[in-house]
Structure 1
Amino acid sequence: MLSQIEKQILKSWIQYAVEPRIAKVTGRKIRTTGPRIAVMGNCQAFGLAYAMKVMDPSATVHHYSAIGHSRFADLDLLAKTLDTYDYIFSHEFPAGHLRGDGDSSALREKLPRVTRTPPIVFAAFHPDLIYVSDQKGGFIFGPLGPYHSALGLFGWRAGLSLDETRALFNENVFSTVGYLDMWDEAARRFLATAQDECGIDFSTDLMKWARKGAFMYSVVHPTSYVLFDVAKRMWEKVGLKPPATDYSYYYIHDLARSEIFPIYPAVAKIFGVQGGYLFKIQNHHLANDVGDFLTLPQYLEACFRSYEKAGADNVVNSRVEAWIADENTKTLLIGLARENLRKGMTPTV
């Protein structure tokens, strides 16, 4: 079975080399008379590509996913294919997605005109979201795929019951572990990464997104209007002029099909948005099914099952390990959990 990159490479060569010849013979007019644009990268790349297509419907815009593994395509074939485009935008990606060796740095060596695109990573709305790995460095998947709760994992590691763990999800605990004071650091990291990797100052854009409310579905999944603004900035960087477009009329919230981590009420209160404990399970087939959600008790119960299945020695996260290793922190969190439980402070949704 072909990977997404391999399917896109095949499609690209058909559109680039075959269809114009057929059109010349048949007299058919080709609508995509504008520039050829390739967008390669992580889960955010599709939204960027879609935004660029909206900005110039005459353009040929192709999305290349740096997620998953290619069976046949190597770096040379990818570079040769991308070289047929007028503009190439790419996130950073590690080796392993292509056959043989080859990461984003190697791609830029072969194609220096590749424009680096900043990843949108912003943790202030979801400070409890973590990734959990096994001893080999692979991801441990739970009910929300790779998205885990640090407090949930701590509760399991510390031997708390499900009810005691649920009692950790209160403002006094969030304040203790620093969850209510994350904005400045999240903003600093995002702006610094964009400046260092791409030479772009997104401070004005960040203020605009903040005025609209919660602009992230998770730490790494922004809303579509964020990706539209990033697409405009990338066009400006390469000398393209973004037209005035009411992008909101053409929104596709692609990343909303994936897992959505809730914004906890005490965190939401800081930003003036609606909070809760409703966890959305990924569903990329909305045409067939509306999908499903988990309450906080359901989510924690499913997480505990996944940790039990993996085994204590195979569930690793540096933040939780630090909490467990610090006896004062561990004792304080356990005490707060039990005190909150006695007071009936066990949220659900």
Structure 2
Amino acid sequence: MFSQIDKQILKSWRQYAVEPRLAKLTGRTLRNTGPRIAVLGNCQAFGLAYAMKVMDPSATVDHFSAIGRSRVANMDMLVATLATYDYVFTHDFLEGHLRGGGDSEELIRRLPKTVKTPAVTFAAFHPDLIYIQDKSEPLHGFIFGPLGPYHSAIGLFGYRAGLTLDETRAAFNENVFQALGYLDLWNEAATGFIENAKLYGFDLSTDLMNWARRGVFMYSIVHPKSFVLFDIAKRMWEKAGLKPPARDFGYYEIHDLARSEIFPVYPAVARVFGAQGGYLFKLQNHHISHTVGDFLNLPQYLGSSWKTFEKTGQEHLANPRVDAWLDDEKTKTYVMKLARENQKAGLKPTL
């Protein structure tokens, strides 16, 4: 069975080698007569590719996934495929996605026209979101819970520290967030984002300021809203020597990443940014034509998370941040104290 990138490569060759010949035989006029553009990368790559198609509807714009493993495609096949495009953009990707190895650096060496672009990572809105790495699976080997790979640091701390579910739920209050530094991460997140973009040759400082004026612009620490990806797509075009047209992207935008899991912006965190927050956790739903999907409130999310933790086993629940809290007796004792005091005071949020 073909993987996603295998199918995308086959589709690309059909478009490139077969469809023009069929059009010539049948007299059909090809719709896409502009440049061929390829966007390779993570979950943000589709949004970038879609934005480029909006910017030039005459272009052939194809998205190639660097998520998961190919069953057929190797680096030779990928390079040969991408060589048929006028412009190629890629996120960083590690060895293991393609058969026989090969990463984004090798792709750039073998196909110098490739432009590397930064992925968006921004934690200020979701300071509690963590991943739990499965050490037996180094490539995207995350432990999945009720919200896929997204876990709560406080939830994991409560489980490992021996708090009850109610006590852990009571830790989701402003005094605990303050103690853990959740309410003042903006400067660190903004500086890290801007400096990382500079490593790729992009100055996104003005864009970040504009996004911030629109409120919360992330669904999670790695899933930006579509207007963010549109602005980055424009910068990618400029770097490649293309001129982005004036376009009302908001009229055509697709919130592709909203189909995936959405981590809430906690109320005390949201107030820092003048936004409305809550504890509503959205489950992934990539079949919106069939079902509206489902959500979990805080007690449901924590209860389901703890079932995952119990099934996984303590020895597999390592996370650097939570490990540090547990190893620091002062932090551990203080957070547990606050959680228990909140619980006795009836401060157990739900939504």
Normalised by the length of structure 1, the TM-score is 0.99
Q: Which residue of structure 2 lines up, in the alignment, with residue 346 of structure 1?
A: 348
Aligned residues: 348
Aligned-residue offset at 1:68: 1.2
Secondary structure (helix, strand or coil) at the match of 1:38 reads strand
- Distance of 2:35 and 2:217 partners within structure 1: 30
What is the aligned partner in structure 2 of residue 36 from structure 1?
36
Per-residue CA deviation, residues 36-60 of structure 1 (Å, 9 max, x unaligned), is 0000000000000000001100000
State the AA in 2 paired with 1:17. Answer: A
Question: 2:269 is matched with which residue?
Answer: 267
Uncovered stretches (5+) of structure 1, i.e. residues with no partner: none
Q: Report runs of 4+ in structure 1 exceeding 4 Å deviation.
A: none
Q: Distance in 2 between matches of 1:112 and 1:8?
A: 21
Gaps of 5+ in 2: none
1:247-279 CA-partner distances (Å, limit 9, x unpaired): 111110000000000000000000011100000
1:143 to 132, 143, 146: 146
CA distance in 2, matches of 1:19, 1:135: 45
Higher mean C-alpha displacement, 5-14 vs 211-220: 5-14
| Separation of aligned partners in 2, 1:62 and 1:305 | 40
Counterpart amino acid of residue 286 in structure 2: H
Given that residues 296 and 347 in structure 1 are in contact (C-alpha distance below 8 angstroms), is that contact kept between their aligned partners in structure 2?
yes
**1:296 aligns to 2:298 (yes or no):** yes
Tell me, what secondary structure is at the counterpart of 2:350? coil
Equivalent of residue 249 in structure 2, options 247, 259, 265: 247
Quick one: which amino acid aligns to residue 188 of structure 1?
A: T
Aligned to 2:196: 193
- Aligned mate of 2:168, from 152, 158, 165: 165
Query: Which residue identity is paired with 1:10?
Result: L
- For 1:156, which of 146, 159, 164 is the aligned residue? 159
Q: Distance in 2 between matches of 1:214 and 1:121?
A: 13
Which residue in the other structure is 1:25 paired with?
Answer: 25
Q: 1:184 is matched with which residue? A: 187
**Distance of 1:51 and 1:118 partners within structure 2:** 16
Question: Corresponding residue for 1:46?
Answer: 46
Cα distance change, pair 27–135 in 1 and its aligned pair in 2 (3 A): closer
Alignment of structure 1 residues 225-240 onto 2, 5 Å: 225-240=227-242
Q: Residue 90 of structure 1 aligns with which residue? A: 90
One-letter code aligned to 1:271: F
Q: CA deviation at 1:331?
A: 0.4
Give the drift of 1:135. 3.8
Contact 1:135–1:313 under 8 Å retained in 2: no
Quick one: distance in 2 between partners of 1:201 and 1:62?
25
Q: What are the residue-to-residue correspondences of 1:88-127 with 2, within 5 Å?
A: 88-127=88-127
Alpha-carbon distance between aligned partners in 1 of 2:72 and 2:81, rounded to the nearest angstrom? 14
Q: TM-score, normalised by structure 2?
A: 0.98
The aligned residue for residue 133 of structure 2 is: 133
Displacement of 1:134: 2.9
Cα RMSD between the aligned structures?
A: 0.7
